[in-house]
Amino acid sequence: MALNFGSFVAGFAKQGTADFEKEETMVSNLVSKSFDKWLVDGPAAHKAQRARKKSLRKQAKILASYNLSPDKVGVILEQGRADEVIKYLGGINSLTGNARKAYLEPLGGDVSNIVKFADGYEESGMTIDEVINKVGGKISGGMSLSDAFADIGQKKENTLANLLTPNVSNIVGKRKKMYESIYGKGSIESALSSATGTIETEGLGLSGQVFTPDPERSAVIEKTLDPDKDFRTASYAQGVTKNYIASLIDGGRYTQNEGLFIPPAITKKHNAITKSNLLEIVNKGIASKANTKTGNLSDESIAEINQDLKDYVDQNMNKQIVQEETRVEGLSIEDASNELNALKSKVSSKLVNKSGKPGSLAYSIWEDQYARLLVKLKRAPNIDIAKTLAFKEFQRLTKERKVLDTGISSDGDDIDMNP
């Protein structure tokens, strides 16, 4: 009986084509799921790193307010002892006389001795910003697309089998083009790099020791001051609560010389978040909780005042956020597009992070409004990805503006575009 080779080949090709299409669909789905995951994990990692640096910056501001040099602030941050040192320094302000001397005794009576360098130390000349960038580090070492899909679709079989295997590189390329049409050029690589990278820090090159009092000795001192532990002065409570207010509000700050500052852009967006309203909570809290004989307060009472402040800020900011979400959702596509262009113009006109200028906005407000409009216009699937896209657009517009201002090429231009 003769073998019908033509029929055999036709049947094999038909089955091979079906298998090829099935495997191509599976690979395509895998690539899409990977892209979706990176577009969530990447911005999340980027957001966490920004939050970490923001926390370091707040700690550095508080430490610097005690006249500690950038080098000393850097050693404290690098050793992860900022919270411990800030708590210790805050305790000094509540004590006077012999109690203060005893509290400072381990430091020789001088706050600056909280950090001591080895013999031969020379000041580095670093600024606080440089210290934060080195200690905070950056995300690096992430995968490339070719690495991520290196093991997919490879088969150690004969030539005919390889002909019927999907070309993974082509599938990735097609999917990448589709996603970039939505999220922008380079968005997949950027998200992948952030999602799979690690935070690498740069050492300060400083060798120093951080000194704080022995906890047991401090406890003994506190106990001898007042059995009820109401030994925090009203002045100390004012400083602690105002510092806490500044930490709750983006762009807020407090120093003994300048007092409490709330960015006008924050008050403009959140009407109830005013300096007078927040200080009223502080003053009423201190008046109601202070010891009637000494006028002092306990740490527990100060913590309760801080909680009242947090509740007030959360309630009133969240109320405004819900109102803004509702407003944006009700915009037409045309109105939303116009608002988006207006926000871009504010960057080009230097009206972002310029407190006091008419029409200016804090970056956090600009980013929030821009991101909500991107979601409304379906240019981003959720608010987190939208904020990442907003940050990139802010960088692009800032660089474009600075290039136009200086009249030079942007190639190799080291421009600080951080909001």
Residue 88 has pLDDT above 50, yes or no: yes
Q: What is the DSSP letter of 254?
A: E
- Residue 374's pLDDT band (cuts 50, 70, 90): very high
What is the overall mean pLDDT for the chain? 76
- Residue 283's pLDDT band (cuts 50, 70, 90): very high
Specify the range with the lowest mean pLDDT, choosing from 148-152, 194-198, 283-287, 334-338.
148-152
- Residue 166's pLDDT band (cuts 50, 70, 90): low
- Residue 6's pLDDT band (cuts 50, 70, 90): very low
Position 294 scores a pLDDT of: 82
Specify the range with the lowest mean pLDDT, choosing from 112-121, 194-203, 305-314, 333-342.
194-203
Strands 253-255 and 208-210, sheet pairing: unpaired
Position 410 scores a pLDDT of: 43
What is the arithmetic mean of pLDDT over 376-401?
89
Position 348 scores a pLDDT of: 86
DSSP string, 87-143: HHHHHHTT--HHHHHHHHGGGTT-GGGGEEEPTT-------HHHHHHHHH-EEE-PP
Angstrom distance (rounded) from CA 275 to CA 265: 13
Position 12 scores a pLDDT of: 40
Specify the range with the lowest mean pLDDT, choosing from 66-80, 82-96, 292-306, 398-412.
398-412
Angstrom distance (rounded) from CA 95 to CA 236: 9
- Residue 208's pLDDT band (cuts 50, 70, 90): confident
What is the arithmetic mean of pLDDT over 230-252?
87
Higher pLDDT: 36 or 320? It is 36
The percent of residues in the chain predicted with pLDDT above 70, rounded, is 76
Residue 49 has pLDDT above 90, yes or no: no
317, 252 contact by CB (below 8 A): no
Higher pLDDT: 274 or 149? It is 274
395, 402 contact by CB (below 8 A): no
Angstrom distance (rounded) from CA 113 to CA 102: 15
Residue 109 has pLDDT above 70, yes or no: yes
Position 219 scores a pLDDT of: 60
Full-model pTM: 0.42
Position 407 scores a pLDDT of: 61
Position 54 scores a pLDDT of: 85
- Residue 335's pLDDT band (cuts 50, 70, 90): very high
What is the arithmetic mean of pLDDT over 376-390?
89
Position 220 scores a pLDDT of: 62
Position 285 scores a pLDDT of: 93
Residue 231's closest CA among 301, 279, 282? 301
